[in-house]
Structure 1
Amino acid sequence: MGEVFAGRYELVDPIGRGGVGAVWRAWDHRRRRYVAAKVLQQSDAHSLLRFVREQAIRIDHPHVLAPASWAADDDKVLFTMDLVGGGSLVHLIGDYGPLPPSYVCVLLDQLLAGLAAVHAEDVVHRDIKPANVLLEATGTGRPRLRLSDFGIAMRLGEPRLTETNLVVGTPGYLAPEQLLGAEPDFPSDLFAVGLVALYLLEGAKPDAKALTDYFTAHGTPGAPKGIPEPLWQVVSTLLQPDPQARFRTATGARKALAAAAELLPEPGPDDEQIEIFDQLGPLPEGFGPNGPLKRAPGVDHTPVTEQRVPQYPAHPPTPAPSPVPSPVPPPPPAPPHPATETASTASYTARVPEVPAPPVGRAARRRAARRPGPPAKVAIPLLLLALACYATGFWALAHI
């Protein structure tokens, strides 16, 4: 198993070296895919500052390979990007030598498209060269190019990390004004694109100084052997020593390239078919196409699209109410025996005689409307009291 970085990235094998650190193939345990990881030891503060500046560049474009994420662990920092397996333009020229002009137009169009997206973010790359232009492993299909390595890139207006008179870049791919210490600008990137185009067409590294001296002394030369005139007009404009004589934008250069490509002859049947194959090599022991063959200890294997669920809930779960049995209705009474029912009915009828209905005449209605008298418990004492009063009055009259 490889070294696990920040509990997520497992370093598999080194695949190259960038401007400020080693590049590894790594397995992202959360996204479950292989990525390219640039790792830097935190020993050089100057390199670390460049590293931080590089990882801060976020450009989403199909022909730009910019950092996607970053992490820090102990004395190391890293950032990751897509893993591109087809090698660089250096590998392509090493395999096939000079490339057909129509194929070069496809590569240059993609490079200028990616550079236009970079310049749209006010970023100057400052290190465009064949080794920093990577290719997807597309086989014999249409090539797909990715502009990479933003280790010395800077935004317009940002302070330099070096002294003003110190030239930063790769020798042989620097614009004349860069050698004189001018401020980085978009035309200097376009000059480097012209050198890359000449490299692809001739199969060898061009001599930038000799070209600049010749252009300065004699003007623009004729098209070299094997380069069609329309395509040479575009390349030579990119290579002008005076920045004001070059294309001002990558988009302008791309439009001129498209017009020149329409004037090129169709590729002949003798043109060699170009194949871009995987340059990374097989995975080391312990790793497969779907990642490590064993789960590494201490690694967060949770996929990034999943949401973690806490092991214990914040509140105890409410117990489910126990089911209440529904009341069982009493069984209906058994029907009585027919003989018993007849005897009971006959006995009840014999004990309760029929009562005739009361008369409905006028006297009956008057009796019904009359207020009922006092109950017997009250009427008897009143009667006795009335008799006593009557007797007393009668006795008083008799003695007068």
Structure 2
Amino acid sequence: MIYCLNPSCEKPQNPDGAHFCQSCGMELIPQLRNRYRIIQPLGGGGFGRTFLAEDEDKLNEDCVVKQLAPQVQGTSALHKATELFQEEARRLQQLGEHRQIPTLYAYFRDDNYLYLVQQFIQGQTLREELRQQGLFGEEKIWELLHELLPVLKFVHEHQVIHRDIKPENLIRRFSEDGRKDLVLIDFGVAKQLTVTSLDHTGTVIGSYGYAPMEQMKHGSAYPASDLFSLGVTCFHLLTGIHPSGLYMEHGYGWVMNWRQFLKSPISPKLDQVLDKLLQKDIEPRYQSADEVLQDLHQKRQLEVIPPDMSATRSPSQLPSLSSVFPRFPTTVIQPSSQWKKSLLIGGLITLFGLGGLVSYWQLFGKTSVLTGHSGEVNSLAFNLKGTTLASGSDDKTIKIWNFNRRKEIRTLKGHKGIIYCVAISRNGQTLVSGSQDNTIKVWNLKTGQEIRTLKGHSGLINSVAISPDGEKIASGSYDNTIKVWNLKTGQEIRTFEGHTGAVLSVAMSPDNHKLASASADRTIKVWNLNTGKVILNLKGHEGDVNALAISPNGQLLVSGSDDKTVQVWDLNTGREIRTFEGYAADVSAIAFNPDGETIASGSDDGIVKILNLSTGQEITSFNAHTSEVFAVAFSPDGKTLVSGSKDKTIKIWPVP
């Protein structure tokens, strides 16, 4: 396969021997500099895309190629992105002699794009380790500090501040000699510490929750700034709580009460070290990695926690729910013997921190997580009664769940690619699914039998919707079109053309007259469902529009975008009514509560929010998942919210 390096190409994979991309028409480059062959993408961000590649001059040794492909507009923003990319190359060249920092192999320009090539680190990030192995114990936190602090000392001695210490940027390398070094990666936002930088604030860059106040508010970065991020990283690994959610809810106030989120006790020694790392103000914080190391050597004596400390705390010892979630009243629960037994065997988690509200619900015998998919959960849909939930996944299957019992009923197989979307008809008899295999399948929901397959799109199907009257299906595709089908016969009725980018979401109005579509071209179109003519063309988002939902009364439209906002529109006039800001990542999922008064959103930072449409206020947010949230859905009674994620789980939340 030859990978197209055009950043805007929608289907970059091409067969060997091809000279031009079959999707975008750009000339293909089999090998960068006649040396580096792109194998597959590893990810991307605001400034660049990263690929796994082979170095032909090193016997096809794996390496990492990063391409500058900034998703920014304007000369100033592009200049800043280029500057940061060049700085990353300089930092890697300067620091790559350290065993725990990737080595820079090359930095060059090719076909108007900048590239850097660096050492490939074989292993898993600490975030992946957290997801697979569970919360870190105290001993692993001590090991992390002892492993990483010398690296930070080396970096800071070279007058560099990393500015983005977090579990995703720490890789546990698997070496042939059996060593498992901790490697610090991604110097893309690193800052050179100079006299000038000490006197002048710079660009505000960092990850919400991990970066300290001086960095996020003033653009200033010091060795103590990285140490704050190290403290937050330890906190995340100890508790499983994503700090971005705490930051969005409480600002930097949460660090003053970080102990209340611990799931199990830690020793006074570790408590003191973490508390000094997590100081909101820079002055009382550790000022250098060497200072922390000296403190560790003085304080670190392996202690055995007394049995009464290592045991699970009783309910009376737990902080009240209202102290952690002030919006919710605390109900005093008389623990039953069964509940106490569950605590002793670790069946329940504590009533605070990540998923604390859900744990509160678990006390009444309700499970909060549905597991079974072996891939990302991309889509969710309820039947009208709320008794059945359908989920579509990267594992190429659809699962049907008895929602009351929280049990899987059956698994539907038939698609040859990832399932991106599912929808259930109002009569509860039919399920529709769309896939990476460019097809739509219609299923009998009760029996699980496939009824028919709809073919016609030339790109993957990212969204499907069934009209309220149960007569039509709408499908949005990466071929930039929307197709409308007869649900009963499978016959294609009409194709809507007009978007210049992939169609990422479609929604139908309750009166069966309007169809809304969202696209990677950053626009929303409202169509006459019966004629195929555009009624409204809505512009306002500055990024891909990923998700749409229409209110139960058909008067409002809400949209979520890569520009980290949710916008509310008048579906009749196209007037923008309100914008919800404050998201730390792309908004990928949107749903209306059946009461029409609130909406739910899911974003790439793993957070689910519930928003009040009338007041424009955030009602609550859940630190829902350890990875991106791709789907949210309210139960028909509006009392329950479900979310699906890249972390392969479906989580269930009571609606306040």
Which TM bucket (shorter chain)?
0.5 to 0.7
Structure 1 position 46 matched with structure 2 position 46: no
Which position in structure 2 is the counterpart of 1:176? 213
Report how far residue 151 of structure 1 moved.
1.0
Matched, 1:230 2:257: no
Match of 1:92 in 2: 129
Q: 1:74 to 1:198 in 2, by over 3 A?
A: same
User: Structure 1 residue 18: deviation in Å?
Assistant: 5.0
- Residue aligned with 1:25, SS: strand
Residue pairs, 1:373-384, within 5 angstroms:
none
Matching residue of 1:213: 253
Q: Which position in structure 1 is the counterpart of 2:54?
A: 27
Q: Is the 8 A contact 2:52 2:64 kept in 1?
A: yes
- C-alpha change, 1:186 and 1:42, in structure 2 (3 Å) is closer
- Residue-by-residue CA offset, 1:190-245 (whole Å, 9 max, x unaligned): 100000011111122233574842566x8x96894332221121111100122121
Residues 1:185 and 2:222 aligned together: yes
- Tell me the equivalent position of 1:245: 284
- Give the whole-Å Cα distance in 2 for the aligned partners of 1:256 and 1:151: 30
Choose the corresponding residue for 1:147, options 184, 194, 197: 184
Does the C-alpha gap of structure 1 residues 72 and 244 become closer, same or farther in structure 2, counting only changes over 3 Å?
same
RMSD between aligned alpha carbons? Answer: 3.1
Seen in structure 2, the aligned counterparts of structure 1 residues 138 and 181 have a Cα distance that, compared at 3 Å, is same
Task: Give 2:64's aligned amino acid.
Answer: A
Structure possessing the higher radius of gyration over alpha carbons: 1
Cα distance change of structure 1 residues 199 and 74 upon mapping to structure 2, 3 Å threshold: same
Maintained 8 Å contact 1:62/1:114: no
Query: 65, 71, 74: which one pairs with 1:37?
Result: 65
Equivalent in 87, 101, 106 of residue 138 of structure 2? 101
Q: Distance in 2 between matches of 1:194 and 1:264?
A: 21
Q: Rate the CA distance shift 1:214–1:260 in 2: closer, same or farther, 3 A.
A: same
Name the SS for the 1:178 alignment partner.
helix
1:9 alignment partner in structure 2: 36
Segments of 5+ residues of structure 1 without an aligned counterpart are: 269-400
Letter in 2 for 1:97: G
**What SS does structure 2 have at the residue aligned with 1:87?**
strand
**3-state SS of the aligned residue for 2:237?**
helix
More helix by proportion, 1 or 2?
A: 1
Partner secondary structure for residue 244 of structure 1:
coil
- SS of residue matched to 2:107: strand
Give the secondary-structure state (helix, strand or coil) at the position aligned to 1:171: coil
Residues of 1 paired with 2:229 and 2:209: CA distance? 9
CA distance in 1: counterparts of 2:116 and 2:202, whole angstroms? 30
1:272 corresponds in structure 2 to: none
Whichever residue aligns with residue 233 of structure 2, its letter is V
1:123 corresponding residue in structure 2: 160
The aligned residue for residue 283 of structure 1 is none
Structure 2 Cα separation of the partners of residues 22 and 158 of structure 1: 32
Deviations 1:285-325 (A, max 9, x none): xxxxxxxxxxxxxxxxxxxxxxxxxxxxxxxxxxxxxxxxx
- Kindly tell me: are residues 71 and 166 of structure 1, through their superposed partners in 2, closer, same or farther at Cα, counting changes over 3 Å? closer
* 8 Å CA contact 1:66, 1:150 repeated in 2: no
Q: Give 1:77 shift.
A: 2.1
| Contact 2:205 2:219 (C-alpha < 8 Å) held by counterparts | no
| Cα distance between partner residues in 2 of 1:42 and 1:213 | 33
- Partner of 1:243, secondary structure, is coil
Go from structure 1 to structure 2 and tell me whether the alpha carbon gap of 1:226 and 1:142 turns closer, same or farther (over 3 Å shift).
farther
Cα 1:140/1:106, change in 2 over 3 Å: farther
Partner of 1:156: 193
Counterpart amino acid of residue 241 in structure 1: K
Q: Quick one: distance in 2 between partners of 1:263 and 1:50?
A: 42
Q: Counterpart in 1 of 2:233?
A: 196
Cα 1:180/1:72, change in 2 over 3 Å? closer
Query: TM-score scaled to structure 2, two decimals?
Result: 0.37
Q: How many pairs does the alignment contain? A: 263
Identify the residue that residue 314 of structure 1 maps to in structure 2.
none
* 2:253 aligned partner, one-letter code: D
Higher relative contact order (CA closer than 8 Å, sequence separation 6+) = 1
Aligned match of 2:172: 135
Q: Structure 2: how far apart are the matches of 1:255 and 1:144? A: 21
CA separation of 1:38 and 1:260: change in aligned 2, threshold 3 A: farther
Please give the alpha-carbon distance, in whole angstroms, between the structure 1 residues aligned to 2:208 and 2:292: 24
Q: Contact between 1:18 and 1:149, CA under 8 Å: does it hold in 2?
A: no
One-letter amino acid of the structure 2 residue matched with residue 226 of structure 1: P
Q: Is the 8 A contact 2:247 2:254 kept in 1?
A: no
In 1, the alpha carbon distance for the partners of 2:298 and 2:52 equals 40
1:14–1:65 distance in 2 versus 1, CA, 3 Å: same
- Picking from 124, 148, 151, the partner of 1:114 is 151
Match of 1:62 in 2: 99
The one-letter code matched in structure 2 to 1:51 is F
User: Displacement of 1:144 after TM fit?
Assistant: 1.6
Structure 2 equivalent of residue 310 of structure 1: none
Instruction: Answer with 149-158 or 188-197: which moved more.
Output: 149-158
Q: Which moved more, 1:188-197 or 1:178-187?
A: 178-187
Checking the alignment, whether the CA contact within 8 Å between 2:102 and 2:120 is kept in structure 1 is no
- Residue 254 (structure 1) aligned with residue 281 (structure 2): no
Q: Deviations over 1:164-211 (max 9, x none)?
A: 585221111121222331521111111000000111111222335748
% of aligned pairs identical?
27
Q: Note the residue ranges of structure 2 that are not aligned, 5 or more in a row.
A: 3-29, 72-77, 308-656
Greater displacement, 39-48 / 97-106: 39-48
Say if 1:231 and 1:23 are closer, same or farther in 2 by CA, change over 3 A. same
- Supply the distance in 1 between the matched residues of 2:252 and 2:37 (Cα, whole angstroms): 47
Once the two structures are superposed, the pairs formed by residues 354-373 of structure 1 within 5 Å of their partners are none
User: How many angstroms does 1:159 deviate by?
Assistant: 6.7
